Amino acid sequence: MRACVLHAARDLRIEDRPEAPLGPHDVRLRVRAGGICGSDLHYFFHGRIGDFVIREPLVPGHEFSGEVAETGAEVSRVRPGQRVCVNPGRNCGHCPRCREGRPNLCENVFFMGSASKFPHMQGGFAEHATVRDTQCFPVSDSLPFEEMAFAEPLSVALHAAARAGNLMGRRVLVTGAGPIGQLVMLAARRGGAAFLAMTDMMDAPLAAARRMGADETFNVGAGTGALLDAAGAMGGYDVVFEASGASAGLNAALMAVRAGGIVVQVGSLPGGETPVMANRIMAREIDLRGAFRFGDVFGDAVTCLEKRLIDIRPLLTGRFPIEQASEAFAAARDREKHLKVVIAF
């Protein structure tokens, strides 16, 4: 089977790879659609994301959907031919973090398409992928595979929203209008946010955000003056989600949030130390919370997609065949033109 294999920064090859053996609880999938994520882009263009560095060939991809091709002897959750969204992560279920209900913080977590551990955990950008049955979430025939591939990033957004607590009636700011920022915005609206603002350095994703329901947008490419004026006039945002992955975004969040407000950091900042206006956290009693991947919300994300409770279609801007995987990565980085680019397998 053919797979996209990343050997180093900007060195993506389509290679033949052997099929993995099928264990009793395994499911072999015919992968049909894979969304390119910001972290895939970091691996592709820089050979790393934050502190995770590619040290051996890596099949990227953790946002994918497909059809069940073959099932192991003990599998009863799915059957061949079924269409499934794939949760790229699985946790051990018995470590202290798992036992307190925080599976995304599992000490023995497995997450596909990630170089966070060595050997790396291979991803889903391949014609076939072998996953555990518990990672498969069946979906009806009506939902296109490309939309199904949004289950993972939507899970990230639902988890981030949940980290902020009750959003009903809240004034919310999202810094960074990439796919995760947009999905967080949609999730916050679904959760009852009364006012939604977004920032970015580019106009195109902000225009998309307004089309999807943002009340106000700020291009902070030339500075955060207008944003902070607006925030000051309303007494600060109740909740800010930092989804830009830049320390400037995190600092803007700390400046724009009200005293006693909540900042949720979703974005992955560059590796190493980051200058942060930490005294504001103290003097204004800001709750700074991390949101990493997602907990037990994958099934909720699948339901949201299937019932279109959250309509992600405006985010889907590009489709490429596997033969043009490198072009797909280049397109995904072009934020003037694209929000989410999907590879078809």
Select from 49-57, 104-112, 236-244, 272-280 the region that touches Zn ion (CB under 5 A). Answer: 104-112
Nearest Cα residue to 240 out of 222, 259, 219, 265: 265
Closest alpha carbon to 267 in 278, 285, 251: 251
Between 2 and 102, CB nearer to Zn ion: 102
Q: Is 248 in the site for Zn ion (CB under 5 A)?
A: no
Binding of Zn ion at residue 155 (CB under 5 A)? no
Instruction: Work out how close the CB of 243 gets to Zn ion at its nearest, in angstroms, rounded to a whole number.
Output: 12
Residue 344 beta carbon to Zn ion: minimum distance, rounded to whole angstroms: 18
The residue from 5, 29, 33, 37 that contacts Zn ion (CB under 5 A) is: 37
Q: Is 105 in the site for Zn ion (CB under 5 A)?
A: no
- Smallest separation, CB 92 to Zn ion (Å): 4
Closer to Zn ion by CB, 261 or 295: give it: 295
114 in contact with Zn ion (CB under 5 A): no
Contacts of 188 (CB under 8 A, 6+ apart): 161, 164, 167, 170, 172, 174, 196, 239, 241
Closest by CA position to 63, among listed 102, 112, 15, 103: 112
Rounded least distance, CB 301 to Zn ion, Å: 12
Is residue 49 a contact residue for Zn ion (CB under 5 A)? no
Smallest separation, CB 109 to Zn ion (Å): 7
Please calculate the CA angle 53-128-327 and round it to the nearest 5 degrees.
60
Mask of contacts with Zn ion, 57-96, x by CB under 5 A? Answer: ----------------------------------xx--x-
Beta bridge partners of 237: 257
Q: What residues form DSSP beta bridges with 185?
A: none
Query: How many positions of this chain bind Zn ion (CB under 5 A)?
Result: 6
d(CA 298, CA 168): 22
Q: Minimum Å distance from CB 258 to Zn ion?
A: 30
Task: State the minimum distance, in angstroms, from the CB of residue 112 to Zn ion.
Answer: 10
Task: Give dist(CA 38, CA 73) in Å, integer.
Answer: 36
- The DSSP secondary-structure symbol of 313 reads G
**DSSP, res 58:** B
Can you tell me which of 106, 198, 302, 325 binds Zn ion, judged by CB under 5 A? 106
The reply to whether 41 sits near Zn ion by the rule CB under 5 A is no
Dist. CA 140–CA 99, nearest whole Å: 32
What residues make contact with Zn ion under the rule CB under 5 A?
A: 37, 91-92, 95, 98, 106
